[in-house]
Structure 1
Amino acid sequence: MTDVLLAGRERYALPILQPLADALAAAGYRVHAWFDGPLARAGDTMPAPVRMVDVRGAVALRPMAVFCAMNQVPPFFAGAKVQLFHGFNVQKREDHRGHFRLRGLFDLYCTQGPATTAPFRALARQHRHFAVVETGWPKLDPLFRDDGGAAAHMRAPAGARPVAMFASTFTERLSAAPHLYDAIAAEVARGDRYWLLTLHPKCPPELFARYRALAGDNAAFVEPERIVTAQRAADVLLSDTTSVVPEFMVQYKPVVTFRNRVPQPYMLDFDDPARLPAMLDMAFSPSAELMADIRRRADDIHPWRDGHSSERVIAATEDLVAGRLGALAPKPLMARVRGLQIRRELGYWGPAARG
């Protein structure tokens, strides 16, 4: 059996990596996972048949490929380095500092849809040290295939009531969670809609405590690793400037955003918490024009709706390893510099993987 390695750093990596892990195991690969940062410190693991390894185990493994739901990867690991992305491009930062930033570490970028494929292919033609294949995003596979009734089970306490979902970024200047708490609490107390509440794993613990306390007959708190199930269960999303917005919208469902950094036609954006009830009413009864905008944008950022993006990632990686994507130029000098920085961060000064 051929070994492969999954790599993640934050809790949001888990729902990205799990569908790919399942597809890799089904394809006959021996799947391992290496976690850095918060995931490593928390002792998080992935369920069998995934085998967990530390940094030395990852070096010794010499996998065919390393699949990354993080911004960087140790270049001293063996195998093709595959970037899966940890979110959509929501323009939190300028392109050269955000979604399209190159770090010189990856051999293959598996893009989510035309909106990101074209810019990355332009960068690939310019730099030539990586390939780009549009595969769709493994995290969304469970949105578009049988989930065994998980979403229906999560929705069941709502009864006949419509379901709203709230999700917020951790970035302080962009987060809606501190500003909308009172307005959301009032909506939950009213009880005419059922709420699924979740926060980015990096939000402050005290914010988690406040939103968890809203759980009851009219609301449930959803742990971050179950966010895809919540997206499938909900009818409308309330959020801010986070990649959960496009993740939810690709289902052709309305989104309400609070002070979005770059509002788009498919969003119902507002800036005064007092307007929340009216904005929710608009979202639960969307206009034909709004739905047309949602469909156009959804098809641009993630047109893959078959639930098999993980399989396309595997096929693209196999093509890369077999040389079917063409020869790549040598990695730039910045990759060596970043490699030293990563060694220092990990405290690993042992030999690099061979082969």
Structure 2
Amino acid sequence: MPKRYVFFTTLSYAYSIYRPLQEAIRARGDEVAWFLEDGCPDLLKEDEVRLTTLKDVIEYNPLAIFACANVIYHFLPGIKVSVFHGYPIGKRGEKNQEKDDHFSIRGWFDIYCTQGPSSTEYFKKLEAKHQFFKVYQTGWAKVDSYFDEYNQQSEVPTILYGTTFSKGISSAPHLFDTISHLVKTKNWNWRLTFHPKINDQVLLNKYRALAAEHSNVSFIDNVRLEDFQQSDVMLCDSSSIILEFMLMDKPVVTYRNTNPGKHLLNVTSVSEVENAIETALRRPDALMKEVNSFARYHEAYRDGNNCDRILNAVDDFNENHKGKIKKKPLNLWRKFRLRNKLKYWKYFERSERM
């Protein structure tokens, strides 16, 4: 009998994380369905199975439910698996991992599938401390296809601009005039992509208008693998998308990065952006060595088998640890608030009551 899985989907960035995992599940002859939270953009394809209600998920009865956000509905059946929506790069300048939201333990998950040493080492300490979840270093599901050989053959350089949504950290309000100037004065192509949580529509419309007015600019609602592959340099701030780009052995220019290092060409003034991009396009040896080292610290594997490792982790937990480790905390207040938000009181999983 095939195993069943569910993708708990909150924001648009989840699609590129889950689809490689979906491919691996189907390759094993197993089944997977999607549950979209209210407000999540519906980008499902015709061949992707949709579960429209919480009752549908319960009746589907998955072996595991995957989440790349920080919360998952505790009352749904299945092993709760965190596969993350980015890397722990200290976006807010955290020097102490205890203060990094990437490592927050909220009591929702049974499994954390970490990406590399930067996340595994501290999560292993948290596993020993809390004892109600297991940690598996699997690599990140999204990047399995990043390591396919790809040769850029463009005569005109392409700059990919991406930004975080965090207020006070996002470069989007500061770099519009600079990017607009470079669009008009440099023989470069531009791809502009923004975090789905950015809600300043006036600002976004300015960037959309820039793309509409210039043939060398594209506005991208959901960044794709080919956008990384077909770009030469990234311009960013403190988003974890930086590391995704570096996995392809490509340089990044950042504006006021909160945790700068030798792996970045970080600038603190808009007047420095142009020269920094020019330097990045030359790919200095010393810089590229730092880029490679930084990427390997965060993403352990280059074999394209991260999704298989995630599924194997679920099997191992199910066979060797489910029901045998410490029970998750009751979290009664959090659970009440979640149910009250959903107005859902019908189903109490047995493990929740124990």
Q: TM-score w.r.t. structure 2 length? A: 0.91
Contact 2:91–2:240 (CA under 8 A) maintained in structure 1: no
AA matched with 1:220: S
Aligned to 2:277: 280
Relative distance call for 1:108 and 1:198 in structure 2 (3 A) is same
Quick one: distance in 1 between partners of 2:38 and 2:77? 20
Q: State the partner residue of 2:28.
A: 27
Partner AA of 1:142 in structure 2: S
1:313 pairs with 2:310: yes
Work out the CA distance in 2 between the residues paired with 1:47 and 1:23. 18
Extract unaligned runs of 5+ from structure 2: none
The answer to whether the aligner puts 1:173 opposite 2:168 as a matched pair is yes
Alignment of 1:207-226 (within 5 A): 207-215=203-211, 216-224=214-222, 226=223
Question: Is the contact made by 1:250 and 1:298 (CA closer than 8 Å) also made in structure 2?
Answer: yes
Counterpart mapping for 1:235-274 below 5 A:
235-274=232-271
> Following TM superposition, by how much is the alpha carbon of 1:214 offset from its aligned partner in structure 2, in angstroms?
2.2
- Describe the shift of the 1:81–1:142 C-alpha distance in structure 2 as closer, same or farther (beyond 3 A): same
Aligned partner of 2:82 in structure 1 is: 83
Counterpart position of 1:188: 183
What is the alpha-carbon distance in structure 2 between the residues aligned to residue 28 and residue 122 of structure 1? 35
Asked if structure 2 preserves the Cα contact closer than 8 Å seen for 1:143 and 1:228, the reply is yes
Deviation of residue 292 (structure 1)?
1.4
Report the counterpart of residue 137 of structure 1 in structure 2.
Answer: 140
Alignment of 1:316-327 (within 5 A): 316-323=313-320, 327=324
Partners of 1:190 and 1:113 lie apart in 2 by 41
Alignment partner, residue 350 of structure 1? 346
**Counterpart Cα distance in 1 of 2:307 and 2:279:** 35
Moved more, 227-236 or 92-101: 92-101
**Considering only aligned residues, what root-mean-square deviation do their CA atoms show, in Å?**
2.1
- Report the Cα offset of residue 28 of structure 1: 1.6
Residues 286-295 or 179-188, more deviating? 286-295
1:304 aligns with 2:297: no
Cα gap change, 1:214/1:91 in structure 2, threshold over 3 Å: closer, same or farther? Answer: same
Cα distance change on mapping 1:325 and 1:290 into 2, 3 Å: farther
Q: Secondary structure at the match of 1:38?
A: coil
Contact kept, 8 Å, 1:144 with 1:306, in 2: the verdict is yes
Amino acid at match of 2:340: R
What 5-or-longer segments of structure 1 have no aligned partner? none
Give the drift of 1:53.
Answer: 3.0
My pick for the range that moved more, 307-316 or 67-76, is 307-316
The 2-side partners of 1:35 and 1:229 are apart by 25
Distance 2:115 2:163 in 1: 22
What is the CA deviation profile of residues 130-172 of structure 1, one whole-angstrom value per residue up to 9, with x for unaligned ones? Answer: 11111111111231237xxxx88xx89xx51111110011112
Mean CA deviation greater in 210-219 or 231-240: 210-219
Residue type at the aligned position of 1:222: I
CA distance in 1, matches of 2:322, 2:296: 25
Letter aligned with residue 292 of structure 2: R
Aligned pairs for 1:6-17 within 5 A: 6-17=7-18
3-state SS, counterpart of residue 280 of structure 1: helix
Q: Is structure 2 residue 6 aligned with structure 1 residue 5?
A: yes
8 A contact 1:62–1:354 mirrored in 2: no
Question: Which residue pairs with 2:328 in the alignment?
Answer: 331
Mapping of residues 107-122 of structure 1, within 5 Å: 107-122=110-125
Q: Which moved more, 1:121-130 or 1:325-334?
A: 325-334
Q: Which TM-score applies when normalising by structure 1?
A: 0.91
**Percent of paired sites with the same residue:** 32
| SS class of match (1:167) | strand
**Count of aligned pairs:** 343
Change (3 A) 1:46 1:135: farther
Residue 219 of structure 1 deviates from its aligned partner by: 1.6
Return the letter of the residue paired with 2:182: E
Task: Compute the displacement of 1:354 (Å).
Answer: 5.8
| Residue equivalent to 2:58 | 59
> 1:62, 1:353 within 8 Å by CA — same for their partners in 2?
no
Q: Which amino acid aligns with 2:162?
A: A
Structure 2 equivalent of residue 36 of structure 1:
37
